[in-house]
Structure 1
Amino acid sequence: MSIEMTTPRVQDLDDVAAVLSGWQHDAGPLHLHPGDLGWHSSRGAARTAASLRAWSRNGRTLALGLLDGPDGLLRMALDPDLRDDEELCRQLVADVDDPSRGVLDAGAAIVEARGAERFSQLLSEEGWQPAEPWTPLHRDLSSGVDAERVRGAGVRVRIEVIDPDGADAWVAVHWSAFKGTPLGEEERREVRQRWLTMADGPFYHRARSLAAFDSDGNAVAVTTVWSAGPGRPGLVEPMGVHRDHRGLGYGVAISVAAASALREMGSSSALVCAESSNSAAVSTYVAAGFTAREQVADLQRGA
């Protein structure tokens, strides 16, 4: 039977997350994770389902892709047992590289397919080129997490689990960390609603949002962590420190807290991926006990 590509429905999202969870392994690549779907779900369950592509054969899911954002980014994971399957990899290339197939539009695009060496090789043969490198980081959780390190570089913080009543603090820090512009009331309402949509979505039962507060009660760092189930690696996505409080150890503190939360949720390890050019982020995770793995590069197609 031939390989079929479909777009999942909202009612399929639990099954998609379950399949992705089963593909997460400590020794495997940091490819598409259920947490990536969870973070994407701040756009709503319907839009998240519409952004997914699934490849299957004889009722078995072989590969999954998430169209992430407006810039032509396709984030993928393949069944670990089928990463070298020639028929699958050639079908993926045919679907991804041809705009008429309904995956990527014509023009500039990026494919993130970590660990899928044969698929990436075939894309390269079609003219796709390496993009900016990323650094995957891994923290083993089997031996526990030293709670004292939550204090970071000599600072004391209070870690809180954020619920909807505390979303404003989380939103303000996240905005500062990733936008860096003043947070107006309209932006605050919009981003808060997106956080609430995520928290009320189909994946958030796998998640926990945290905030770190300094000794004056200021929210200084935030993160959300995502479980793939007991005994499997969990994902840190996202993590950010307020711009007014950088360089004080709060990034280390919230990253250790993230690892601790994942261990409490049954995860075997904590995973995160940072742009290799962002040396401050990589250093922060390393200081929090993560080990940097070999750099990986996405593949890009020009306009």
Structure 2
Amino acid sequence: MITPTASEIPGAAGELARWQDDRLPLQLHPGDLGWYSLRGLDATAHSLRFWLKDRALAAIGLLDGPDLLRIAVNPKLRDDQALAEQMAADLNSVARRIFTTGTVSVEARGARRLGLLLTESGWQEGESWTTLRRSLADPVPATSLRIDAIDASGARQWLAVHASAFRSAEADERQLDQLEESWLRMTGNPLYAQGQCLLGFDAHGQPAAVAAVWSAGPGAPGLLEPIGVHAQHRGRGYGTAISLAAAAALRSMGASSAMVGTTSANTAAIAAYVSAGFAADAPVADFTLVRSAS
């Protein structure tokens, strides 16, 4: 297990894109790295863990906070025993210092052999997540919202809606300054070449909903991350509308499908995605372990 440098991230994201497949569970996506890069590429590199096999990248983990590692494994190596044993050993080792908290979680939907080893070593079922996916073989219906793909001139409006959707509070000017700095950091790095931010406006021209979409290249599933509706505009179908707009944007980028994950307890979000033509996979739980912090 190694921690990469910032210069290694674009190549790793390209490899991660090649691992995306409509026939497999949703695992860590290059869009997840893109969204995380709000913090900058150096911080993103610090939170990444790479596992190699025969000197080639075999698995990638993103430490999404101090207690959660989100993993993708090369699909050809899902059942590789040696790789799974090495990853399990690293995840179980306090000395490797992947985690800094007592209760830790691993998201490893596509890592079949690793999941078995974690269960055998005492990891339990944690939070349940539901993946939803929409085929993009056919055109996506138009929505009730006016949709703009935004550049820097629209960033503050996009960020204000996002803050309302996810922070349950309006952002003040100082907070928007900080958020805009992070947004410009994200959109200015190479990972955003496969990303796009969308802003939806209601019939009165008010910003109502936001989405970011991330391509993994033509013929591969794209990711919706994040999707949100302004607190003052909830209950009007805008979650469904922005999800449809996001799917349409991914189709224009050549994606084979649009995929999104949410906690299984978030029934309102699941309902909005289903209304937008997404089909829900069976819920899958993270792996969770309670141990002494070190």
Band of TM-score, shorter chain: over 0.9
Question: Which residue of structure 2 aligns with residue 238 of structure 1?
Answer: 226
Does structure 2 retain, via aligned residues, the 8 Å contact 1:13–1:202?
Answer: no
SS in 1 for 2:71: strand
2:3 to 2, 7, 27: 7
Letter in 1 for 2:116: Q
Q: Spell out, residue by residue over 1:243-302, the C-alpha distance to the aligned partner (whole angstroms, 9 max, x if none).
A: 100010111111000000000001000000011111000000000010001111101112
Question: Which residue of structure 2 aligns with residue 291 of structure 1?
Answer: 279
Task: Note the C-alpha offset of 1:106.
Answer: 5.2
SS in 1 for 2:37: helix
Question: Which residue of structure 2 aligns with residue 141 of structure 1?
Answer: 136
SS in 2 for 1:145: coil
Question: Which residue of structure 2 aligns with residue 122 of structure 1?
Answer: 117
Task: Note the C-alpha offset of 1:144.
Answer: 1.9
SS in 2 for 1:212: strand
Residues of 2 paired with 1:59 and 1:132: CA distance?
A: 34
Structure 1 residues 186-225: aligned runs within 5 Å: 186-225=174-213
Residues of 2 paired with 1:102 and 1:8: CA distance?
A: 15
Question: Which residue of structure 2 aligns with residue 228 of structure 1?
Answer: 216
1:24 to 20, 28, 35: 20
Task: Note the C-alpha offset of 1:50.
Answer: 1.1
Q: Structure 2: any 5+ residue segments left out of the alignment?
A: none
Letter in 1 for 2:126: A
Does structure 1 retain, via aligned residues, the 8 Å contact 2:53–2:83?
Answer: no
Question: Which residue of structure 1 aligns with residue 36 of structure 2?
Answer: 40
Does structure 2 retain, via aligned residues, the 8 Å contact 1:98–1:104?
Answer: no
SS in 1 for 2:95: helix
Residues of 2 paired with 1:94 and 1:59: CA distance?
A: 19
2:79 to 50, 66, 84: 84
2:152 to 149, 164, 175: 164
SS in 2 for 1:84: coil
- Once superposed, what is the RMSD of the aligned Cα atoms? 1.0
How many residues are matched?
A: 291
Q: Establish whether residue 272 from structure 1 lines up as the match of residue 267 from structure 2.
A: no
Percent of residue pairs bearing the same amino acid type: 49
Residues of 2 paired with 1:160 and 1:182: CA distance?
A: 22
Letter in 1 for 2:12: V
Residues of 2 paired with 1:184 and 1:106: CA distance?
A: 32
SS in 2 for 1:205: helix
Residues of 1 paired with 2:111 and 2:69: CA distance?
A: 13
2:48 to 46, 52, 60: 52
TM-score, length of structure 1 as denominator length: 0.94
Question: Which residue of structure 2 aligns with residue 154 of structure 1?
Answer: none
Residues of 1 paired with 2:205 and 2:238: CA distance?
A: 13
Question: Which residue of structure 2 aligns with residue 300 of structure 1?
Answer: 288
Residues of 2 paired with 1:216 and 1:235: CA distance?
A: 29
